[in-house]
Structure 1
Amino acid sequence: MKKVYLGTFAAVLATTIGFVNVDNVSAESIDELEKKVNELEEEQSDLESERGNVESDKEKTEEEMNENENQQNTVNQEINTIDEKLTNTQNDIQTKETEIDETNQEIEDLNNRIEELKEEIVVLEDRIEEREKLLKNRLVSLQQNGGGMKYLEVILGSQSFGDFINRSSAVNTIMDQDKSIMEAHNADKKALEESKQEVEDSKVEVEDKKVALESQKEELVALKSQLDDQLDERKTMMAELEEEYGDLEEEMLTKEEEQEILRAEEEANKKAIELAQNKKSDLEQEQLERERERERERVAQAEQEKAAEEESSSDSNSGSSSNSSSASDSGSDSGSNSGGNEVTTSSSGKFSMPASGPLTDTFGMRDSHPVYGGAKMHNGIDLGTSTGTTLRAAADGVVSTAGSMGGLGNAITISHSIDGQTYTTVYGHLSSISVSSGQTVSEGQTIGATGNTGASTGPHLHFEIHKGGYGNAIDPLPLMK
């Protein structure tokens, strides 16, 4: 009977020691959970602060976009003004070209007139030359025959009054003819000189007009060239502004996406805090129950000890033997418990590869983006996968967002807390998504399938890791298992 009581006491003692070790483990877990809750609450504060910074950046980007739009409007007005000036200048050039063509036609007409005048001048010169010969002969005849006295003798030699009239008429006729010859001769000479002078004056005037028109045309052409340069400059400026606006618009979308992801991360973080607090409460309740059980065991143990002492007061050696046996059993259980809680060291990698496929692109600046062109930052790595390849969570966490995400197409973001550090993983260009926002996922759990959605040139998985929350992308490769 004594041996039974002593054996029961030893078992109770060993059980009590075991409960103490379990309570230590529970206490450590509660401390760890308390620490994790504090870390998550600090992260929540950081996320709220970061979201405020993103909002400030977004407002700044909006101001830059508004300023860019104002500049575009100004440049567009300048382009319209230059276009109007170019149109007017081009019309003026065409007018000048028409006037130059007309002037060239005038010059051609004058040249033709000059050729005609040359022929007329030859005729006039021949006629003048003949008259000069005739007049010369008349002068010689008059000189030889006494000039005007000869006409008088003809008249005075009349035989009758009728003869006198006839002779007077004949003399008048001859004198009128001579006068007509002289007048015609002088008129031809004057006409010849006037025609020559008129043609020469007209030619000079038209040629001067042509020179002036050519000069005006050169000025207009120079003005057009200047306006063309200004237009090209404004168009180049407009193209740069439009490109800048596109970058700002893309940045704005990125900020909006970042805000949405940060909001989702806050919600996921709140859920993680709630889960940790619930788990802590459960462990505290469990510890409380264990403490109550331990108290009950202590009371029972005390009662058993009292009964054992009363029954074994006459046999002290038997009690010593029982105590020795009890101590031996207690040491054995303690060693067994210590071996069951042995801490194992994990590998340096924190994340597993989310999909099977070769590495096709690395983290860093690209010289030329395959879709948008120009130097762009590549915030993650690319894995060559066919459409429909199984996608798995890279680590335990809470889904922040699951849906369309700009250039990443169908995408998933997951919030993680690993070794006191927060991370966000991003999975882009997916063909399907099998999780939703707020869902808790485990490492290796299927969350969707890879694809070719968004700004993508072929099926692949784009994978990012952000340290301390979204917006702080780092190279994923050093963190992969």
Structure 2
Amino acid sequence: MSLKSKWIVTGLVSALAITLCLPTTDASPLSELEKKQQDTEQKKSELNSGIQKKSNEINENQTKLTGIMMEITELDNKITEVEFKIADVQEKIDQTQNEIDVLKKSIAELEKKIAERDKLLQERARAIQLSGGSVDYIDVLLGANSFIDFIDRISAVNTLLEADREIMLQQTGDKTLLSKQQTIVETKMTQQGELQKELQALNHSLADQKNKQNGLAKEVTAEQKRLAAAKLKLEDQFEEEIEISAELEQQIADEQARLAELARKAEEERKRKLAAEQKRQRKAEEARIAAERKAAKDSGNKISGASSPVAILPVTPVVGSPFISPADGRHTSGFGGRDIGDGAETHLGYDIANETDTPIVAAATGYVSYSGVMGGYGKVVILTHSIEGQTYATVYGHMSSINVSTGQAVSQGEKVGGMGSTGRSTGTHVHFEVHVGTWNGSRSNAVDPSLYIR
């Protein structure tokens, strides 16, 4: 091939590459979607701040509520203590009442015995009075007819004397016991009155403490309900925003499909132009060889290099993966399950760490289907590619800066941003994802990037 032919081929290839990388105005609707997405993310952020504020209020109020609950617990303890005291006092009252009842029964029996003895003694006194005013036991003894009768009379006199003495002693003892028991009853009745007053005071105290406890419990319940309702309202609004966000994610996915179709058509057009260029090169080369042969024939000289093969641009991609590594650095986390310190998670990407602002480049030629902030990704760029008829999406997350805009066409190796630690990140790195098909919010079609990059 002549130098001129090589120059033409190189120029055409460069022109085709530049044409492929030029921005397209067909992707402009995604800019509006991106703006809506960012507005939604802003609303979600504001609502999340509101929810967090309410949560903080609940946490702060919890200190107050904890104090109230401690007071309620103290009241519970006091109520329990008072209830024990009431039970103890009531037991004392019941015991005292039983003792009073026993004493009263004993007093009644003593009074009955004393009354009966009084009657007996009155009858003895009356008998003595009827016999002359006194009983002369000597006359009784001297009136015995025989010694045996005398002995019998002595025994009878002793029996009478002993009976009178016993009656008098019992009467005196019963009267003393009666007086003592009456005094005890009076004392116990006084104690009973004091216990009844104490019981009444304890019951009033118990009622007051229970009323206070009920009031505090109502205050706690009302405050918690108020804060929970306010938080729930914000959470409902937040859920609505999530639904809107999901809808926008679907719109973004639809727009990605449109961009993928553009990429597919661009790839077909590239192949068509390459094939046309190859055909034109063949014809040009054939014409050149024919002209050289004719000239040689006319001059009678042998054609040097006439049988050289025709150089043709390759139509098929380079053998191996079509993706390159998005950044220089050390691999820190792979695809699949991993421990993140606060629990296990499924990691759907490939992490490469390096210094802040380390260039991050497009892994393959494609279109920018999203550029901006998105949840845990932080600052992120999503590219849509069409390679050999297959749609792919690549994700570049946690960036410190973004160098491309939505809808822009980018070439493989072109810088899309700088490495950072935005979003849910624990250090400076790029989180790189590969999706077979267009990107979706659930990332259901994510694959292990290490199997695709070279």
Scaled by the length of structure 2, what TM-score is found?
0.48
The structure with more helix, counted as a fraction of residues: 1
TM-score (norm 1): 0.46
